[in-house]
Every structure is written in structure tokens, then in C-alpha cells.
Amino acid sequence: MTNMNMRSDPATGYPGRTYRFYTGRTVYPFGYGLSYTTFSHTLVHAPELISLSLHESPHMSCYGTNNSCTSVHVENTKCQELLFDIHMDVHNTGSRDGGHVVLLFFSPPEIHRSPQKSLLGFRKVHVGAGATERVQFSIDVCKDLSIVDEIGVKKLALGSHILHVGDVQHSLNLQIE
């Protein structure tokens, strides 16, 4: 194999590399594991809207087509204090104690040939049979939710970002103040 591109190329049928860009059929999803018990996830706390402040006017910082702003340059964003926490409950629904790795992914809006999903963080937790444990993820918006465009510029995509943990999905919207 001589093609080392990460992103898929529909024109040539190249499926891409890594769980972030691969568009072909998978046998097991990234992070799939075996356990002697079963777990369920419940979202306890996560914001639905994040407002971004810019150093310059939106007209100077926005990227998009047809006068619509689809992303902003990270360097033009006031990133201080753009932090938030996500709280998840992990419930052991089985009859045995077990360890579980909670994987938090996000899917950005489909612009700049962004990845399908990216791993934001993981926590390993031991949960007794029938018990529930709470896990917390701290997210830095500019660091964790940014994407890199086709020419290597770090940007924040505006619009709906989907956070995934197991079967749970949560929509988080980024907008300009």
C-alpha cells in the first residue's frame, strides 16, 4: 500500500485510515471490548450551547461559502474560560462486578473534510453488579473540539457537534456571540 493519506478519497475508492476517517465496513467498532457483564450509560450533565467570543469582527474570522460562517480560526477565538464538564453515569446491568472503559467521542459538522469522529477522552471505572458510578470529562473547547482544515489550519466548526458515549448521543452547538 503506497497511499498514506488519512482521509478517504471517494474518487479513487480509497477508504481512508484510522477510525477517524475510515469509511469502509468494520468488523468491530473502535473501542469494542469483551466483558463478563453489561453496562449502560446515562448523560447527567453536558451543555447544549457554547458561545464563542472573537478577537476580531466575525467578518474577518469566518470561513464559509455564500456569506455563511461555517468555521472560525482558533487563533481568532478567545479561548480562555472555554471549558466545560460532561458527567456520565455508568450502570452495571449484569450480575457480575466488572471494569469498563468509557470512551467519549465527538463528531464535528461535516466541513473541511473533518473526521467522522474523534476520541476526546476515556476513563476506566470498576462498577459492582447492579451499581452505578459517575465519570467526568473536562473539555477544552479550543483544544478538544477543533479540527484541522485541508491546508493544516486549526479551526472551530460552527454548528452541531455530536458527543457519543456508547449508545448515548448529545448535540452541542457552537456559535459566535
Is residue 58 within 8 A of residue 176, CB to CB? The reply is yes
Least trusted range by pLDDT, from 50-54, 85-89, 110-114: 110-114
Helices (H), the chain: 18-21, 58-61, 141-144
Predicted structure pTM score: 0.80
25-66 confidence digits (pLDDT tens):
776 666 677 788 999 999 999 999 998 888 776 555 676 665
117-164 confidence digits (pLDDT tens):
889 999 999 999 999 999 999 999 999 998 888 788 888 889 999 999
Q: How far apart are CA 119 and CA 106, in angstroms?
A: 7
